[in-house]
Amino acid sequence: MSDLGVSIGEISFFFALATAYALRAAFVGRVRHKRTEADGGSVFVNKATMEMVYWILDPIISFIAALGITPNMVTLASLIPAAGAGVALGFGWFGLGALLAILATFGDIIDGLLARKTGLSSDAGEVVDAAVDRYGEMFFFGGLIYYYRDHDQVLFIVLLAIVGSFMVSYATAKAEAMGVTAPRGAMRRGERAAYLITGAAFTPIASTLFAGSPSLALRELPIILTLTIVAVVSNISVVQRLSAIAAALRERAAAKRSAEPPAFDDEAMVTKPDLPVGTV
C-alpha cells in the first residue's frame, strides 16, 4: 500500500470513529470519564475528543487487563512504534509515520488507564512512563530532523519546536519539584502529539495535490504548518508557565516571611540598673 493510501485510510478511519461517537453522544449521551472531567480539555484538544479516545480504548484496556499485561509492558512496547515512526518520517513516509505515532500515543494513554484499572499505579511506573514519553517524542522529531537536514528554514522550525516541547515538560516537572501547582497552559504532550500526527497524516495528500509545485512549503504544507504552530505556541506557553511558577514561588516566600515571628533582640531586653542622678 502506498503512503498516500495509508494516509487516506487513517484519516477516513478517524472520521468514521468521530461520526460513530457523535451518534452515540446524540442518542445515548457522552462518555464521561474521570480523567477528562479532571483535565477539562484544552484549546487544542477539547473534552469531546478526549472522551471519544477513551471510549474507543476502554474495551481494549479491559481486554489487555484480562490477559495479565502490566502497564509497564505497554509503556515499553510503545517505544517500538514510536521508533518506527521516526524511521518512517526520516524517509518521508508521513502517512506511515503518522500511523505508527498513533499506535505509540495510544500505548501512552493505555498504560495510565490500565494502571488505574488494575490498581498498579506507582511512582516508579510514572518515572518509566515519563522517560518513554521523552524518547517517543524525540524519535518523532529526530525523524523530521533527518528528513529536513538539507532544508535550513524548516530544520530551524523543527529545532524550535523541540525546544518548546521539552521546555513545556520541564516547566511542569520543575513546578512539581518545587512543590507548587503546575500551571496549565497550552501545548502539553497530548496536544503536541495531536497536532504533529494530524500534520503528518495530511502531508501525503498535499504532496499528491501539489506534486508539480517547486515549493516544498506547499507540497508539505500540513506538517510544516503544524511544526510552526507547535514551535510558536509551545515557546509562548513556556514563558507563561515559568512566569506563573516564579510568581507562585515569590508569593509562597512572602507568605512564609510574614508568618515568621519577629526577630528577638537580646540587647534590647537587657534591663539597665537605675543610676543616681548626675551619674555618668
Q: Is residue 271 situated within a structural domain?
A: no
**Nearest of 105, 108, 106, 100 to residue 83 by alpha carbon:** 100
Neighbouring CB atoms inside 10 A of 238's CB total: 21
Would you state the pLDDT for residue 160?
A: 96
Which helix (H) or strand (E) segment holds residue 34: the answer is helix 34-39
Domain limits at 211? Answer: 3-254
Would you state the pLDDT for residue 41?
A: 58
Q: Is residue 280 situated within a structural domain?
A: no
| Integer Cα distance of 43 and 41 in angstroms | 7
Q: Return the C-alpha cell found at 204.
A: 501525503
Would you state the pLDDT for residue 58?
A: 84
The total domain count for the chain is 1
- 132-167 pLDDT per residue, tens: 989 999 999 999 999 999 999 999 999 999 999 999
Is the pLDDT at 268 greater than 70? The verdict is: no
In DSSP notation, 182-210 reads: PP--S--HHHHHHHHHHHHHHHHHHHHHT
Q: Is residue 263 situated within a structural domain?
A: no
Q: Is residue 266 situated within a structural domain?
A: no
pLDDT band at 104 (very low <50, low <70, confident <90, very high): very high
Which helix (H) or strand (E) segment holds residue 80: the answer is helix 79-90
* Residue 9 belongs to domain with CATH number: 1.20.120.1760
Q: Is residue 264 situated within a structural domain?
A: no
Q: Is residue 163 situated within a structural domain?
A: yes
| Integer Cα distance of 87 and 212 in angstroms | 26
- 38-82 pLDDT per residue, tens: 665 565 566 777 788 888 888 888 888 888 888 888 889 999 999
How buried is 140 (Cβ within 10 angstroms: 0-12 exposed, 13-18 middle, 19+ buried)? buried
**Nearest of 128, 146, 149, 148 to residue 138 by alpha carbon:** 146
- Rounded to 10°, the helix 189-209/221-259 angle is 170
Give residue for cell 484519516.
11
Would you state the pLDDT for residue 83?
A: 96
Q: Is residue 278 situated within a structural domain?
A: no
pLDDT band at 262 (very low <50, low <70, confident <90, very high): low
Q: Is residue 236 situated within a structural domain?
A: yes
